[in-house]
Every structure is written in structure tokens, then in C-alpha cells.
Amino acid sequence: MLCATCCELHRNILQLGMTKSEVTSAQRMLNVWAIILITWSFYRVTFKSGLPLWFDEFIAKPLVFLLPIYWYIVKSEKESFLTGVGFKKNKVIGDVLFGLGIGSLFIGVAVLTRMTKGMAFPSLHISTESLIWIASTFMAAVTEQILSTGFVFKRLSEESKNIYQPFIVSALLFFFLHVPVLFGVDKISSSTLVPMMILNTVMSLTTSVVFLLRKNTVAPILVHALYLLSLPILL
């Protein structure tokens, strides 16, 4: 059922602004994205939450998300992988500061929300487990932003004549990328599900705007990482 839904979504997106005779780079990119989504869905449904977090983020996601992208960019587009996913060396310090600044807004909102509700803050314990979680959080931001922003949004924005379409399509794709987790795989409660869906959409739109402003995937990665770090405070 999930794979059928993914395939139908893929077909509908391919029809946006394209005639039957056109085969654009964005269309080929979406084919790669669809393969990644189907593979990731099988992985999540098969293993659920049974494997360690570090395995998901440091081994599974890079293999499923990045390997097909690398192959497509190097073999099909004949381009450097890092360039193809939007990494640039110039003005990187500015991109880092910009990403940290925007990402800090998520932390600030989470702190203010918790204070407003009068909720106690989660205790901080420096341990091997917490360090692995933080490292996994940053790795998740790297892989997901390379796929969603550096690979998908970058190509959509380069080809689309409609300024809004890349934002809408990339946000939808980011949402569906997390469907295997959101709908039962990790047993997320209904009270957490809707806020997570909304927050993920807001974060996706934010990283797209950040990429358009900075033209470097470094900044969206940092925004995404700080967003993930804000979730335990907010939820």
C-alpha cells in the first residue's frame, strides 16, 4: 500500500509542468528520488526500530540516500558530487553562521514554548548514549538535506518557471520521505504525529528558503540539525 501510494505520488509530480515528450533533469531526478523512497520504505517497514539509531543514520541512510544520488550525479550529470548537491567553498563561514542563526530560532521557539507551558526542561546528562544521539542527529541532517535540498530542491528551482512550485513539491517529497516513520513504524503517538508533520513541513520550507538565499547546502544542514535538537525540548 505504501509503495503504491509512493508510485502514484511520483507519477503525479512528474506531470507538473511537463509534456509527454519532455524528459528533463528534474524528471530524471524524481525517478532517483522515487527509488530512494521505495528502498527506504522497505528498510523501515522491515526493521522498524529494531536497529540502533547510529546504524540507521551512519550506515543505512548514507547507503540508501546518498549512493543513488552519487551515482546519478557522477554518471548521468557528469558532475562533481559535492558541486551537484550544492556544496560550495566560498563564503562558507558566512553560510555556517547564517545556518546556526536560523537554526537557533527553532531552539528559541522550543524553549519559549516550554517556558510558556510551565513545563520542566529535560535533564542533560553527558553520556555515550547522548553523544551518539547528537552525532546521529547531525548525520541525519546531512543525509536528508543532501537529498531533499541539495539534490531535489536545487534541481526543481533551477528548472521551474514558477517560484512557488519547487517549495511545494520539495515539501511534499520531504513529508513522504518521513511517512514510514510517522505512520506507525516507530509507534509515534497521535498527539505527537500532527505537530511533527507540521514542524517537518515548516522546517522543509525554511531550509529551502535558506538554500535560495545562501546557494550552499551547508546552511540548510545546520538549520535541520538544530531543528532536530529542538524537538526533545519542544515535544
Query: What per-residue confidence (pLDDT) applies to 15?
Result: 54
Mean pLDDT of 143-164: 94
Burial of 209: CB neighbours in 10 Å, binned 0-12, 13-18, 19+? middle
- For 5-26, what is the mean pLDDT? 58
Q: How many domains does the chain have?
A: 1
The pLDDT tens digits of the residues spanning 26-64 come to: 889 999 999 999 999 999 888 877 889 999 999 999 999
Rounded to the nearest 10 degrees, what angle do helices 2-14 and 165-177 cross at? Answer: 170
Per-residue pLDDT of 186-231, as tens digits, reads 556 667 778 888 899 999 999 999 999 999 999 999 999 999 999 9
pLDDT (0 to 100) of residue 92: 95
Q: What is the pTM of this model?
A: 0.88
What is the average pLDDT across 7-35? 70
CA gap 116, 128 in Å, rounded? 32
- Say yes or no to pLDDT of 172 above 80: yes
Q: Which domain holds residue 24?
A: 2-234
Distance from CA of residue 102 to its chain's centroid? 16
